[in-house]
């Protein structure tokens, strides 16, 4: 990612962001609301025309790397009453590879079954989507991303609205994916969670404030700068730094 600038009409959402994201790691994108976190994810997907700069995934332009990417939308973007079963949603993950006409092959079915099994959804496979809990719904979408056959996962605020148990579960899933060499790039608000469970952090405030391993990227100075906190009051900083999940 080099000198990346994205503008929505006249508003600049990202300015001159240059960073090198490591493969096979859990990467968190952090920053205040409106800092361009989601914009960065969508830029990686090639949704936003870049005002300047370029993105390379491996050696490829994002458009050519699409099959390697799986995107998880924010939870509120989904109609959870939609008349699909768990297996039905995971099967959607195969559609891009199948195109308009190709039939589901045995390989496709195996991939779906494996994705369901890996996320512990086999028992729920025939349940309608709306009967699931928030954490289970999240897992269904992770399973769909797996069934796609991607190895880079872009998650937009995956932790929002999850309770403690579901949060712990998601952390466990992300860690096990990284252990298998997959890359996870997630928008995360909870900096304590990032410190504890992510390998790499990007702190954004339209400009790139810092990036690197969380110890280096999420120092008090950088956080103050990104969130525009006055240097004399430490209370707000403390609350950003120490809220922690007893996982």
Residues binding other proteins (CB under 8 A): 45, 47, 63, 66, 69-71, 73, 77-79, 82-85, 88-89, 92, 95-96, 98-101, 128, 144, 148, 154
d(CA 62, CA 69): 9
Smallest distance, other proteins to C-beta of residue 238, A: 36
d(CA 241, CA 238): 5
d(CA 76, CA 74): 6
Smallest distance, other proteins to C-beta of residue 71, A: 4
Smallest distance, other proteins to C-beta of residue 181, A: 21
Nearer Cβ to other proteins, position 93 or 214? 93
Smallest distance, other proteins to C-beta of residue 127, A: 10
d(CA 6, CA 16): 9
Between the alpha carbon of residue 200 and those of residues 11, 104, 121, the distances in Å are 28, 38, 29
Nearer Cβ to other proteins, position 82 or 117? 82
Nearer Cβ to other proteins, position 63 or 180? 63
Nearer Cβ to other proteins, position 53 or 149? 149
Nearer Cβ to other proteins, position 157 or 205? 157
d(CA 159, CA 174): 11
Smallest distance, other proteins to C-beta of residue 74, A: 9
- Which tokens go with 198? 């992510």
d(CA 37, CA 59): 23
Nearer Cβ to other proteins, position 14 or 70? 70
Positive or negative, the CA dihedral 61, 62, 63, 68 is positive
d(CA 161, CA 135): 9
Smallest distance, other proteins to C-beta of residue 69, A: 7
């Amino acid at each position: 990612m080099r000198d990346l600038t994205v503008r929505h009409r006249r508003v600049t959402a990202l300015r001159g962001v240059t960073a090198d994201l490591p493969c096979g790691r859990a990467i968190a994108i952090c920053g205040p609301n409106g800092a361009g976190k989601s914009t960065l994810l969508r830029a990686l997907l090639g949704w936003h025309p870049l005002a300047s700069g370029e993105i390379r995934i491996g050696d490829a332009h994002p458009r050519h790397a699409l099959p390697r990417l799986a995107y998880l939308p924010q939870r509120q973007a989904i109609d959870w009453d939609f008349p699909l079963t768990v297996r039905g949603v995971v099967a959607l993950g195969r559609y891009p590879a199948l195109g308009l006409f190709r039939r589901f092959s045995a390989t496709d079915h195996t991939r779906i079954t494996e994705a369901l099994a890996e996320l512990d959804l086999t028992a729920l496979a025939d349940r309608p989507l709306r009967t699931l809990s928030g954490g289970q719904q999240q897992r269904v979408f992770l399973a769909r991303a797996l069934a796609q056959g991607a190895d880079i996962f872009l998650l937009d605020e995956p932790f929002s609205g999850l309770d403690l148990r579901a949060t712990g579960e998601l952390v466990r899933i992300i860690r096990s994916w990284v252990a298998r060499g997959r890359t996870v790039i997630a928008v995360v608000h909870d900096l304590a969670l990032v410190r504890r469970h992510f390998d790499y952090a990007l702190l954004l405030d339209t400009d790139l404030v810092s990036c690197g391993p969380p110890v280096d990227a999420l120092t008090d100075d950088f956080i103050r700068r990104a969130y525009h906190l006055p240097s004399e009051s430490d209370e707000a900083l403390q609350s950003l730094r120490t809220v922690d999940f007893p996982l």
